[in-house]
Amino acid sequence: MLDKLSKMDEKKHKKYSQIIVNRFINSSFYKEAKTIMSFVSFGHEINTHDLIKNSLLQGKKILVPITIPEKRELKVSQLKDFDELELGHYNILTPKDEYIRLRDPLDIDLIIVPGLAFDKKGFRVGYGGGYYDRFLAQLPQVTKISLAFHMQTLPQLPRENFDIPVDYIYTERGIIECK
């Protein structure tokens, strides 16, 4: 999947990212959420940078992940300005030390979950750290949405008993309800 994503035409990547993000921001999930946790995209992922910036302008509280590799743990920090980010672990933008504002995950209304590949039941293949599955296990009541290119959706994926599925997958072709 990494290879497929890396070969995606840049114009198509940008166009599909915009379609997916627009579909998401017009959803009731997004409109009703006050506190949203979002991954900060890198590489060939759906671009979440403008989504985060626009959400901040709309007064949404945006929480971004901070990885603690030594504990294989994910924490969340409130972001107030996109410029508060710098390259961190795994070359992913993360809050600079002086802008870390840890928040209680129980305050989250909606989580945007990253992944490399997804199946129709919402199970995903991530980047191998297990950070999100451990984190999501603590928040069964929170709606989990992934933003992905249609080509990242597959009929079925291998899964482990600790994998946590997402509830919806937004693609350029539509919305997949996984519940």
Q: Is the pLDDT of residue 16 over 90?
A: yes
The structural architecture, per CATH, of the domain 2-177 is: 3-Layer(aba) Sandwich (3.40)
Q: Tell me the per-residue pLDDT of 123-151, one tens digit each, with 9 for 90 and over.
A: 999 877 788 999 999 999 999 999 999 99
CA distance 14 to 16: 6
Residue 23, Cα to own-chain centre: how many angstroms? Answer: 15
* pLDDT at residue 122 is higher than 80: yes
CA distance 79 to 49: 12
User: Whole-prediction pTM value?
Assistant: 0.94
What separation in angstroms does the CA of 95 have from each of 11, 42, 45? 29, 14, 19
Element (H, E) at 22: helix 10-25
pLDDT digits 0-9 by tens, 76-100: 999 999 999 999 877 889 999 999 9
Around Cβ 111, how many Cβ atoms within 10 Å?
Answer: 26
> What's the pLDDT tens digit per position in 158-172?
888 889 999 999 999
Domains in the chain: boundaries: 2-177
